[in-house]
Structure 1
Amino acid sequence: MQTLSKQECIALIKKRKCFHADVDNGAFTIKIEEYSPIICTAIHNGHQLRKELTKSFLLSQTERLYEEDPYTVDLVSSFPIVLTGNDSRFEYDLNRPKTLSTYFKTAWNKQVWEKPLTTSQRAKSHEKHQAFYDILEALVEVIESLYRNAIVFDVHSYNYQRIEADTPTFNIGTAQIDVERWGNVIERFEKELNKIELPNLETRAACNEVFQDEVI
């Protein structure tokens, strides 16, 4: 695997080159085996935390894993285009706008930092957040030029034991989808997910029962 900068990745994408690389000192990984219309992301897969932040970080490994989504990249690793977050969402959350991606005080009612991050520390994390979306934007532009549309699957997991209700194995979040335009596709996707059989587990797919803005 290569190690590339954001600028090097974007240059390769614009030339429609295939590559597999760690980006921004391993903050995230991009794999392009073929320029297909489907892009898969596992933005909360990571567990890394910058060394300069660990001294003031308060959460235990167990508390982190309640909100991080380890191994989600395994669900989409066979797809030709995959972007994987390698840093912990507690350093910066790719599921939030850049300015809100670094938690000031608490997350899910837990104090994250012993003392607030400095402006410099937050800026370093924001740069990584920006790099991820700059590359994704360049990739979507190329895919749209080839196929008119690009489909992005944003894959997450959730801890079903925290929910006091029957929860689906697969949840399709439609909050960021034009349901009027793509409703038939969503229905077909849910139907196909409901056909999946897993050992020792009853499977079920549903829309927006757990979260409304991601696939889990």
Structure 2
Amino acid sequence: MSLTYLYQLERYESPFWAFAIHDGHHVDERLIPHYNISEDERLREEDPYTAILAELPFNRFLSGTSRFQLDLNRKREDAIYLRPEQSWGMHVWRSDLPDDLKSQLYETYDRVYEEINREIERTIDRYGYFLVYDIHSYNMRREGPETKLDNTANPQINIGTSHNQGKWRKLTDQFIRAIQSGREGQTYDVRENVKFKGGFLSAYLNDRFGDKGCVFSIEFRKDFMDEWTGEVYPQKLQEYKQLLLQSIETLENYFAYER
């Protein structure tokens, strides 16, 4: 019996996709005896609640499985954290992971990417274009819960676009402007390619389909939760989700009139 990889793929009548590939916390029970890290340590480096941010009127890919089982935002050879340099210096496994378990994980990786590939192809065949919101979050207090926040290096929202083709520059500028302004004149610190530039999912999709669409890898600073305890701040989470919802009109207008 193969190792379980939990995820949801939901189709909507839309050319747009929302991915939350690091939201999950589940690990297959057969892997648990091999882990050298605690559940709390795993949670701190996962992106909880990003599946809620991805609840948009889009097609959706939501991972329920921890990145510490299989990381879909890494190249195949890095998708299992076998060395500390792949995982923030953490020794994830007690000893070498058995080859049969690694083989199953790599087979799952291949199978899931084949499915993602088919879905994007289907979207392009139907609409002629696509766009992905690749939604993540990032830690801002790695040294401890009392670490002073450095706003200079940690924007509230980082948009990773390094893999996108230049033809999407105008759309990118419009999208960033759309999420910089909230309700009642509130503005947000939104910057491009400061903290993160986009991971393997973006590179993969752009390499194959980049002339037909692009990927916005959206990294929210973990202002909406306590990154050390996992406690969520619902009001802030919904505030960020509202920014994504209000950006949809920008996408629709661009692809209707300007592309």
The match for 2:157 is 170
Secondary structure class of the residue paired with 2:34 = coil
Secondary structure class of the residue paired with 1:44 = coil
Q: Tell me, yes or no, if the aligned pair for 2:4 and 2:28 is still in contact at 8 Å.
A: no
Secondary structure class of the residue paired with 2:62 = strand
Tell me how far 1:196 sits from its aligned partner: 2.3
Tell me how far 1:161 sits from its aligned partner: 2.2
Q: Percent identity?
A: 28
Q: What is the identity, as a one-letter code, of the residue corresponding to 2:46?
A: E
The alignment status of 1:215 with 2:218, answered yes or no, reads yes
Q: Tell me, yes or no, if the aligned pair for 1:39 and 1:81 is still in contact at 8 Å.
A: yes
Pick the aligned partner of 1:79 from 35, 51, 57: 57
Distance 2:98 2:176 in 1: 44
Runs of 4+ in 1 over 6 A off after TM superposition: none
The match for 2:40 is 62
The match for 2:145 is none
Distance 2:134 2:61 in 1: 10
The alignment status of 1:206 with 2:191, answered yes or no, reads yes
Q: Tell me, yes or no, if the aligned pair for 1:28 and 1:132 is still in contact at 8 Å.
A: no
RMSD: 2.0
Tell me how far 1:123 sits from its aligned partner: 1.3
Q: Tell me, yes or no, if the aligned pair for 2:18 and 2:61 is still in contact at 8 Å.
A: yes
The alignment status of 1:39 with 2:53, answered yes or no, reads no
TM-score, normalised to structure 2, is 0.68
Give structure 2 stretches of 5+ with no counterpart: 143-147, 199-216, 220-259
TM-score, normalised to structure 1, is 0.81
Give structure 1 stretches of 5+ with no counterpart: 1-23
The match for 1:7 is none
How many residues end up aligned between the 2 structures?
Answer: 189
Q: What is the identity, as a one-letter code, of the residue corresponding to 1:206?
A: R
Tell me how far 1:156 sits from its aligned partner: 0.3
Q: What is the identity, as a one-letter code, of the residue corresponding to 2:172?
A: I
Secondary structure class of the residue paired with 1:144 = helix
Distance 2:98 2:4 in 1: 21
Which structure features the higher share of helix residues?
Answer: 2
Tell me how far 1:89 sits from its aligned partner: 0.5
